[in-house]
Amino acid sequence: MSNTHTTIGVDSPHTTMLMHTTRCNIIGCNADLLLIVMRAISDVSWIMPRWCATIIIRYANAEPSDDAYLRVFPDPVTSSARIEIFDSFFAPDLSRIDRAALVAHELIHIHISMIMRWSRRIVERRIDGPSKDDALDELEERHEMVVVGLEQAFRVALERIIETEQ
Ligand SMILES: [Zn+2]
């Protein structure tokens, strides 16, 4: 893992408000990959949660254990999040819109982490026995369904924005 830190400003006409609070640090990417990541982040910067002051993007430089392209670790307590990017994100068959939608998916997870963190804690404290695992599984499954639904809605918006721009 490289120690190079590159800080980019997220530049988009939609992010005037966000520009003041949102910083993205990209760690470990070479210049070619960095360009791909910067474009994807720039395309979805308007979706970033305003409470999330720092998003660290880390290139995992590895194959994921599942078929993930990206993985997110939101931390509402420190108003930050980490997104890990796997090699699959740079696959040549992915379009600009595909990559933007993948990043949007993780940003939606960051939005919902505000509720998810609290909900998990309530289930862990208030439900005992085998029902606890069932409730946590159900919560995770419904959470992912909401995120995927919103990602699809955002993808329609991204298609319109990116196609108008090109
Ligand atoms: Zn997800």
Q: List, for residues 111-134, the tens digit of each pLDDT value.
A: 999 999 999 999 999 999 889 999
pLDDT at 33: 79
pLDDT 10s digits, 5-47: 344 444 433 332 233 334 555 666 677 777 888 889 889 988 8
**Ligand 1 centre and the CA of 106: distance in Å?**
6
**Ligand 1 centre and the CA of 114: distance in Å?**
15
**Ligand 1 centre and the CA of 70: distance in Å?**
9
pLDDT at 57: 80
pLDDT 10s digits, 36-94: 888 898 899 888 888 887 788 877 766 666 678 999 999 988 888 888 888 889 899 99
**Ligand 1 centre and the CA of 92: distance in Å?**
22
**By C-alpha distance, which of 46, 14, 2, 115 is closest to 25?**
2
**Ligand 1 centre and the CA of 101: distance in Å?**
11
**By C-alpha distance, which of 38, 34, 43 is closest to 12?**
43
144 pLDDT band, cuts 50/70/90, is: very high
**Cβ-count burial 71-83 (b if 16+ within 10 Å, e if not):** bbebebeeebbbb
**Ligand 1 centre and the CA of 37: distance in Å?**
18
Extract the tokens encoding 15: 């992010």
**Ligand 1 centre and the CA of 12: distance in Å?**
25
- Rounded Cα distance between 41 and 99, Å, is 9
**Ligand 1 centre and the CA of 77: distance in Å?**
20
